Amino acid sequence: MKLAVNIDHIATLRQARITNEPDPVYAAVIAELAGADGITIHLRQDRRHIQEKDLELLRALIKTKLNLEMAISMDMVKIALKYKPDICTLVPESSEEVTTSGGLDVVVYNDKIKEVVDNLKAAGVKVSVFVDPNIDQIKACYRMGINVIEINTGEYAENWNNSNATLELEKIKKSIEYAKRMNFRILAGHGLTYQNVFPIVTMRDIEELNIGHSIVANSTFMGLTEAVRRMKQIIA
């Protein structure tokens, strides 16, 4: 199982003072050298953390895999086609949310998503969709010709230390089993920490985990290199 490190919150700290440090591009290089298998960024429409210049520099420097999380808008499609990340992950986006609060509703936004997917695929850009662990959402992705999904682990992460954890894990397991039968490549992430990631790691059909906040938060105490290495050790 691979680890992609989300560096958004390095940029959040930088933007708190509208300055030039800490540099998320430098953080990405450190994460790669520490063993990260990919770098994930979310270029939000309100540009609250990652900026387009960061994307430009990361595209030039990243040696592993660059995953661009993006809203389902044609403005974002234009940016994605300009810089050609290795994969684009379509996510829901709201200016009121602190962070991504759930999976993209592929059933409701089917037409809009299909337009974005078709444009990206026509340019040779791989596409993933961030979805809740829900069979109907996975079916909708399949009908659209999408073959990579990222399962939202947020509900499990919020409940990992209470009685709801078993229920949330079962939802994830059933979704993964179904997605595997439909020949999806399966990624997962959201809210995962050093304390709660292990039950997810045991689900071997997951190809890659996207983890950001916990790694960045712990890097303030142990350094980014060690924070990435420790997460890699747990996954291993």
Task: State the pLDDT at residue 102.
Answer: 84
Summary mean pLDDT of the chain: 95
Rounded to an integer, the average pLDDT of 81-87 is: 97
Task: State the pLDDT at residue 97.
Answer: 54
Task: State the pLDDT at residue 136.
Answer: 96
Annotation marks residue 69 as catalytic: yes
Task: State the pLDDT at residue 174.
Answer: 97
| Residue 99 in this model has a pLDDT that exceeds 90 | no
Annotation marks residue 42 as catalytic: yes
Instruction: Select which of 9, 32, 69, 155 is catalytic.
Output: 69
Domain harbouring 161, CATH code: 3.20.20.70
CA distance linking residue 168 with residue 174, whole number of Å:
10
| Residue 150 in this model has a pLDDT that exceeds 90 | yes
Instruction: Select which of 9, 42, 93, 168 is catalytic.
Output: 42
Task: State the pLDDT at residue 138.
Answer: 97
Q: Report which of 157, 94, 155, 105 is spatially closest to residue 130, judged by C-alpha positions.
A: 105
Q: What is the pLDDT of residues 17-71, one digit of tens each?
A: 999 999 999 999 999 999 999 999 999 999 999 999 999 999 999 999 999 999 9
Structural domain count, the chain: 1
CA distance linking residue 117 with residue 94, whole number of Å:
20
Rounded to an integer, the average pLDDT of 209-231 is: 98
Annotation marks residue 190 as catalytic: yes
| Residue 204 in this model has a pLDDT that exceeds 90 | yes
Task: State the pLDDT at residue 189.
Answer: 97
| Residue 155 in this model has a pLDDT that exceeds 60 | yes
Q: How many residues does the chain have?
A: 236
Contacts from 53-57 at CB under 8 Å and sequence distance 24+? 54/11, 54/24, 54/25, 55/79, 55/83, 55/85, 56/83, 57/25
Task: State the pLDDT at residue 93.
Answer: 83
Instruction: Select which of 32, 168, 190, 208 is catalytic.
Output: 190
| Residue 89 in this model has a pLDDT that exceeds 80 | yes
For residue 75, give its domain range.
2-235
